[in-house]
């Protein structure tokens, strides 16, 4: 592929696949954050 | 060679394929297999149900990590030959299959099936899955290889963050008797299979001659260390650069694991003799914070390496790490803030050491078999996994036996970690470009094509 070929954004697919991995990841980070709070309050 | 749906030829991307679809494919595998570090959730229920000792209940995890190293080291060439879809599919089948075999083992009271399933079969899934997206990401992001591999390897760190609370919730729902544990394992197997299937379906390799818009190959070859040729995995083992990086990775990981493995008791012991000792809950919060910086460091520092260069960033990980350890030793129990901040940055360097190494390998050995070379280098991780905890635990035990307490319990181990980091720093300084006599005798375009 050369520079003149435009990349199709595929916005729907992009959103879906990033949410697919992002939602579980966000859940994990949220659970972690609740534990981190204990460092300052425990 | 896999044919049909799994073959490399079926996943050559059309010219307008959006490369930002590739990191989620990699993440769907790494977020799943990162569950391995949450194995401890199952230890107590298994011990209670199957009458196991702590040593026995750790066996599936330990075998899994050994199999991770072995399958990454010996399966790397197969992964390069058959392509990322094949590798992700093998990882999916082995990792999910491992859980299903373990479910059968618990349901029938045959613990050896749990060890074989999760550790043996699942461990192969860990190793093949870990290296499966590496060379593909590097080819899609020749302009930002550190960032691309940083995203995926951050996912491996994030996997345990998801699995730990999720597995606990399932055990709460299904129960911790044999039926409940078996059901939990079975649900894990099915859910992870579905989750990882996104990667299998989505992953693509770039077409011959593809490059990012506005980027020219010469831009990647402007650094002094960046290879102009390609080195095979077998030849790489005969170069000093491979073994220097082996030392760099091994000692960087050893130094980080030393803190990670004993973080909770270490911070409690460190400040035990102060006016405000830490509670167990605070220590748990500290461990969680370490996990967060371990994960974020993989993305942030690895992305930074694309700007400052791989050798410089490892100078920071190793030299900066040694200075931070020294800061912990010198400050003793006088400042919690110094201890916590230093430990957090050290752990960010620890995670970043994993995430940046594929890009360093690509710089030195080219893209031809970088995934296979990476797989072989992961034996350094296995070694560090034994060395780090061994040093910290053995030294702490001997100091406790000698009647010491507080920071004195850990002073010797911290000095050992500083020594290891200095050796790693020196090894990094010796890294030079690979001698062209090791380069494969074909044109760059052929090397790129050989992997598609």
What's the complex ipTM? 0.85
Contacts of A24 in chain B (CB under 8 A): 31, 162, 195
B101 plus B162 within the same structural domain? yes
In a domain, B342, yes or no: yes
The single residue listed with the structure tokens 């899934």 is: B125
In a domain, B347, yes or no: yes
Residues B27 and B22: their CA atoms lie apart, in Å, by 9
Number of structural domains in chain B: 2
B233 plus B158 within the same structural domain? no
In terms of pLDDT, which residue wins out, B161 or B100? B100
User: Quick check: B163 and B41 in contact, CB under 8 A?
Assistant: yes
B173 plus B269 within the same structural domain? no
B197 plus B330 within the same structural domain? no
In a domain, B16, yes or no: yes
B192 plus B282 within the same structural domain? no
Q: Write the CB contacts of B25 (distance below 8 Å, at least 6 apart in sequence).
A: A17, B84, B88, B133, B198, B199, B202, B203, B204
Q: Is the dihedral of CA B226, B227, B231, B237 positive or negative?
A: negative
Kindly report, residue by residue over B53-86, the tens digit of the pLDDT. 888 888 898 889 889 989 999 998 899 899 999 9
B19 plus B118 within the same structural domain? yes
Contacts of B198 in chain A (CB under 8 A): 17, 20-21
The single residue listed with the structure tokens 């020594």 is: B419
SS3 content of chain A, % helix, strand, coil (to 5): 75, 0, 25
Q: Do B285 and A37 touch (CB under 8 A)?
A: yes
Residue length, chain B? Answer: 452
- Residue closest to A21 by CA, chosen among B196, B43, B35, B368: B196
Show which of B167, B202, B237 is a domain's final residue: B202
Supply the mean pLDDT for chain A: 79
The single residue listed with the structure tokens 């995926």 is: B152
Kindly report, residue by residue over B124-175, the tens digit of the pLDDT. 999 999 999 998 999 999 999 999 999 999 999 889 889 989 999 999 999 9
Q: Do A29 and B27 touch (CB under 8 A)?
A: no
Distance between first and last Cα of chain A: 56
B395 plus B434 within the same structural domain? yes
B341 plus B237 within the same structural domain? yes
SS3 content of chain B, % helix, strand, coil (to 5): 80, 0, 20
Query: How many residue contacts between A and B have a Cβ separation below 8 Å?
Result: 107
Query: CATH no. for residue B398?
Result: 1.20.1250.20
In a domain, B354, yes or no: yes
Residue B255 burial (CB count, 10 A)? 32
User: Quick check: A31 and B164 in contact, CB under 8 A?
Assistant: yes
In terms of pLDDT, which residue wins out, A19 or B224? A19
B345 plus B435 within the same structural domain? yes
In a domain, B135, yes or no: yes
B327 plus B193 within the same structural domain? no
Show which of B202, B234, B250 is a domain's final residue: B202
In a domain, B38, yes or no: yes
User: Quick check: B34 and B158 in contact, CB under 8 A?
Assistant: yes
B222 plus B97 within the same structural domain? no
**Band of the pLDDT at A42, cuts 50, 70, 90?**
low
Instruction: Taking residues B320-347, report their average pLDDT.
Output: 93
Q: Is the dihedral of CA B251, B255, B258, B263 positive or negative?
A: negative
Cross-strand bridge partners of residue B205: B12
- Note the pLDDT of residue B442: 66
Show which of B168, B202, B236 is a domain's final residue: B202
Residue-number span of the structural domain to which B86 is assigned: 4-202
In a domain, B155, yes or no: yes
B168 plus B250 within the same structural domain? no
Two tokens at B284? 């748990």
**Band of the pLDDT at B420, cuts 50, 70, 90?**
very high
In a domain, B300, yes or no: yes
Cross-strand bridge partners of residue B12: B205
Residues B440 and B452: their CA atoms lie apart, in Å, by 17
Contacts of B292 in chain A (CB under 8 A): 29, 32-33, 36
Q: Note whether A26 contacts B: Cβ–Cβ < 8 A.
A: no
Name the strand (E) or helix (H) holding B305: helix B280-308
- Note the pLDDT of residue A7: 59
Residues B28 and B32: their CA atoms lie apart, in Å, by 6
């Amino acid at each position: 592929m050369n520079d003149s070929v435009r990349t199709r954004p595929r916005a729907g697919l992009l959103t879906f696949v990033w949410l697919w991995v992002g939602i579980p990841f966000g859940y994990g980070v949220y659970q972690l954050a609740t534990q981190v709070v204990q460092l300052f309050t425990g | 060679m896999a044919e049909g749906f799994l073959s490399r030829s079926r996943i050559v991307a059309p010219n307008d394929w959006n490369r930002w679809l590739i990191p989620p494919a990699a993440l769907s595998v790494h977020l799943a297999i990162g569950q391995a570090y949450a194995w401890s959730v199952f230890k107590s229920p298994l011990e209670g149900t199957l009458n196991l000792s702590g040593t026995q209940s750790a066996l599936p995890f330990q075998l899994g990590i050994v199999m991770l190293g072995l399958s990454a080291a010996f399966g790397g060439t197969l992964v390069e030959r058959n392509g990322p879809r094949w590798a992700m599919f093998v990882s999916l089948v082995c990792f999910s299959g491992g859980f299903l075999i373990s479910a059968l083992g618990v349901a029938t009271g045959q613990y050896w099936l749990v060890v074989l399933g999760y550790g043996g079969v699942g461990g192969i899934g860990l190793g093949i899955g870990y290296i499966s997206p590496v060379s593909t990401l590097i080819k899609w992001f020749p302009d930002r290889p550190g960032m691309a591999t940083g995203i995926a390897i951050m996912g491996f760190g994030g996997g345990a963050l998801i699995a730990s609370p999720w597995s606990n919730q399932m055990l709460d729902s299904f129960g911790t008797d044999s039926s409940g544990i078996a059901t939990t394992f079975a649900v894990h197997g099915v859910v992870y299979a579905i989750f990882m299937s996104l990667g299998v379906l989505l992953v693509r390799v770039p077409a011959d001659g593809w490059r990012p818009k506005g980027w020219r190959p010469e831009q990647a070859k402007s650094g002094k260390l960046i290879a102009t040729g390609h080195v095979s995995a077998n030849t790489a083992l005969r170069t000093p650069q491979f073994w220097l990086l082996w030392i760099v990775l091994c000692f960087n990981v050893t130094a980080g694991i030393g803190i990670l493995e004993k973080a909770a008791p270490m911070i409690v012991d460190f400040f035990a003799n102060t006016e405000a000792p830490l509670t167990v809950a605070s220590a748990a919060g500290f461990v969680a914070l370490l996990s967060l910086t371990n994960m974020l460091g993989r993305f942030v520092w690895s992305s930074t390496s694309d700007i400052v260069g791989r050798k410089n960033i490892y100078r920071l990980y190793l030299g900066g790490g040694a200075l931070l350890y020294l800061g912990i030793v010198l400050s003793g129990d006088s400042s919690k803030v110094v201890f916590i901040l230093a430990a957090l940055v050290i752990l960010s360097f620890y995670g970043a050491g994993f995430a940046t190494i594929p890009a360093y390998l690509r710089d030195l050995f080219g893209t031809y078999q970088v995934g296979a070379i990476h797989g072989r280098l992961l034996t350094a991780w296995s070694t560090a996994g034994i060395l780090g905890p061994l040093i910290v635990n053995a030294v702490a035990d001997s100091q406790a036996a000698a009647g010491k307490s507080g920071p004195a319990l850990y002073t010797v181990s911290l000095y050992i970690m500083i020594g290891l980091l200095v050796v790693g720093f020196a090894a990094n300084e010796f890294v030079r470009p690979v001698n062209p006599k090791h380069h494969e005798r074909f044109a760059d375009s052929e090397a790129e094509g050989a992997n598609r």
